[in-house]
Chain A
Amino acid sequence: MYILFAVVSLTALGLALGFMLGAAARYFKVEDNPLVDEIEKMMPGSQCGQCGFPGCRPAAEALVAGKASATLCPPGGKALAEQLANKLSLEIDLAGVEDQAPMVARVSEATCIGCTRCFKVCPTDAIVGAPKQIHAVIADACIACGKCVEVCPTECLRMQPVKTTLRNWRWAKPQPAPAGA
């Protein structure tokens, strides 16, 4: 008799829970990953390819599929890595991320021949100029993807760290307290 109770109650419990799980799967179903779109929006969008993927969308897909690390995007830097990790609930070791100083491309006037190659490859139109005239970089639009440096025939384009001024100076992180704090 008691065994019957046990069997019946456990079966009922199993059925009920199974039904709930099925219902939950149906009601809370996530339509094809909106996450990829969201992540693509967070990326620099310059399709620079430094991550090893052919563009920001493939990189976002790889991230969502778990095939890439949140630290994949050099132009995005530490901040983006953290945002991505938060979004995807990934554990990342930010300490390992080289928080590279923000960079910006700069044209050396002495060696620029006005070949226009750089501004053709610039994904954000951050380089302006005309044929046979010295080109210039709009620092505000430069995402430091480095494509221009690759194509420049005279090596007149360089990536430089963004200069610290009173406007972009920030307080450094306080030194940690002695061991154990």
Chain B
Amino acid sequence: MVVPDIGALWRRRSKIRGGVHPEPRKESTADKPIVANFPLPERLYLPLQQHLGQPAEPVVRAGDKVLKGQLLAASRGAVSASVHASTSGTVAAIEDYPAPHPSGLPTATIVLEPDGDDRWVEEGAEIDPFGLTPDEICARVDRAGIVGLGGAAFPSALKLNLGWRSRIRTLILNGGECEPYLTCDDRLMRERAAEIIEGVRIMLHGLQCPTALIAIEDNKPEAYAAMRGAAKNHGRIEVVQVPSLYPMGWEKNLVTHLTGKEVPAGGRPTDVGVLLHNVATAYAVQQAVRYGRPLISRVVTVSGEAVESPRNVETPFGTLLSELLAFCGHRPERTARYVMGGPMMGDVLPHVQVPVVKRTSGILALTPEEVQATDARPCIRCGRCVSACPVGLLPLEMMTRIRAGQFDAAVSFGLRDCISCSSCSYVCPSRIPLVHYFKYASGELMARQEAQQKTERTNRLAEEKRRRLERAKQAAAQRKAQTAASEHAS
């Protein structure tokens, strides 16, 4: 089948602004195959919220026996995703357990005790995905509890639905993986290219979208070759190389680079007719739609100098990061920091007794030499943060204003457009934690907004109460007057 490359006709490769070139440090895991036989841990901890939006609602109770892939908690509300059993076993409890979050605060979690049988709920019959309607595809993706596996964990069914309704013209598959250390997408593309391509075709079908572009950074030639090979018989899918630059994987960067369009501030790529999904999400979609398998595991990169045999492991959700690290030969005494995700945007975790969740792309145990923690020094206004910012902000100006407590001024400098990509902090010669300032200010603004809303609400309540009391008083006075009048009359 020969289809002309329509994409190339209207595509204008645009220059990406800013960006940095952190040391890739991917070599320790990139050439090792994905480990699929990770031994089941003794207990699995499945948080009800592993996605953006509302937490899922449990549909099982402590003591229930469940099978692998069985629904444990159903999505609730418009933005939510279901949670399924990663293996067969018994629900031990539904209780608060520390979340994989920088704060280490607890969150409602289903604790599952595996029985070791690893028995599937019922192997649904394999179906032909291309006989389904878009709505059916969305429904199957929704039922499988799939969320964006790139890190944002936005429910995928919702995104597909949104894309279908807004008639997007281009589907972009994000195989950028620009974060240092991480190679889970790279490995997945090398080893399961055919499945990913089918996932992309299913998405195209579900979106009724003409073309798909699979963007892979040019530092992953093997993945590029594998994906190209798998896609060569499908003219609507084009595999393209993009320059290795951080943050190439920022979705808006990819949109601009590949289509020449710019997503308006506050908008989504669908506003310009583009939808983005991660390559790992495409794989999950294929598994869900063709085989009816829910999302119960993912490939996690285990890396860092404090790990003796770093590699990618296909890990069931709920596995404690500590067990995953131990499996790969973790040396706690050499570890300075634990990071979930990549070192640029990942979450620094206070400890690793927390579970692998859907957005866990990697767990890094970094040595002091890798982290090189130093104190911040005064800003010398060198402007490196300005040239590194992919959004076009002035991080140094924002930081000085935030430090002075002038949050509104920081907003006028574009605080709300910051994507927390850490490029500015990365290049800062004074090691100022710029992104930390921005996260702090954003949180503070959010808290203020909430406080404001609460004040408005309580003001209304107080006013209502005052009126009610007044009415009651008036009514009482009236009654009094009436009784007086009637007494007088009698």
Contact = CB atoms under 8 A, between A and B. Distances in A.
A touching B, CB within 8 angstroms: yes
Interface of A: 41-47, 76-77, 79-80, 82, 94, 122-126, 140-141, 143, 164-166, 168-178, 180-181
Interface in B444-490: 444, 446-448, 450-451, 454-455, 457-459, 461-465
Nearest to B451: A79
B101 interface: yes
Residue of A44, A82, A166 with most partner-chain B CB within 10 A: A166
A44 B459 contact: yes
A171 to B, nearest CB: 4
Contact of A177 (B99, B377, B450, B455): B377
A172 B440 contact: yes
B6 interface: no
B377 A178 contact: yes
Contact of B446 (A42, A164, A170, A176): A170
Contact of A165 (B105, B433, B437): B105
Interface string B161-196: 000000000000000000000000000000000000
Contact of B379 (A42, A143, A181): A181
A-B pairs with lowest CB-CB distance, top 7: A170-B443, A45-B459, A177-B376, A124-B461, A171-B439, A171-B440, A181-B378
Given A169-B105, A174-B433, A140 B454 contact: yes
Given A165-B105, A169-B105, A45 B443 contact: no
B436 A171 contact: yes
Contacts of B446: 170
Interface residues of B, number: 38
A143 B448 CA distance: 15
Interface in B47-63: 49
B233 interface: no
B462 A174 contact: no
B116 interface: no
A45 B447 contact: no
Given A44-B459, A143-B458, A166 B439 contact: no
Interface in B30-82: 49
A126 B459 CA distance: 12
Contacts of A174: 376, 433, 436-437, 440
A73 to B, nearest CB: 10
Given A177-B375, A177-B432, A168 B103 contact: no
Contacts of A164: 103, 105
B95 to A, nearest CB: 15
B107 interface: yes
B405 interface: yes
Nearest to B442: A171
A144 to B, nearest CB: 10
A10 B443 CA distance: 58
26 contacts: A42-B455, A44-B458, A45-B458, A45-B462, A76-B455, A79-B448, A80-B455, A122-B465, A126-B461, A140-B454, A141-B461, A143-B454, A166-B49, A166-B101, A166-B105, A166-B107, A168-B447, A170-B444, A170-B446, A171-B439, A173-B440, A174-B376, A174-B437, A175-B376, A177-B375, A177-B378
Nearest to A102: B451
B170 to A, nearest CB: 35
A97 to B, nearest CB: 12
Contacts of B378: 177, 180-181
Contact of A77 (B451, B458, B462): B451
A141 B440 contact: no
A45 B463 contact: yes
Given A44-B459, A181-B376, 10 more contacts: A45-B462, A46-B459, A77-B451, A140-B454, A143-B454, A169-B105, A171-B443, A174-B437, A178-B376, A181-B378
Given A94-B405, A181-B377, A141 B448 contact: no
B376 A125 contact: no
A99 to B, nearest CB: 11
A124 B462 contact: yes
A79 B454 CA distance: 13
B402 to A, nearest CB: 8
A165 B444 CA distance: 15
Residue of B376, B379, B444, B458 with most partner-chain A CB within 10 A: B458
Interface in B411-435: 430, 432-433
Nearest to A40: B459
Interface in B362-390: 375-379
Given A45-B455, A141-B458, A170-B444, A125 B375 contact: no
Contacts of A123: 461-462, 465
Nearest to B438: A171
A125 B466 CA distance: 10
B459 A82 contact: no
A115 B447 CA distance: 35
Given A166-B101, A170-B443, A174-B436, A44 B464 contact: no
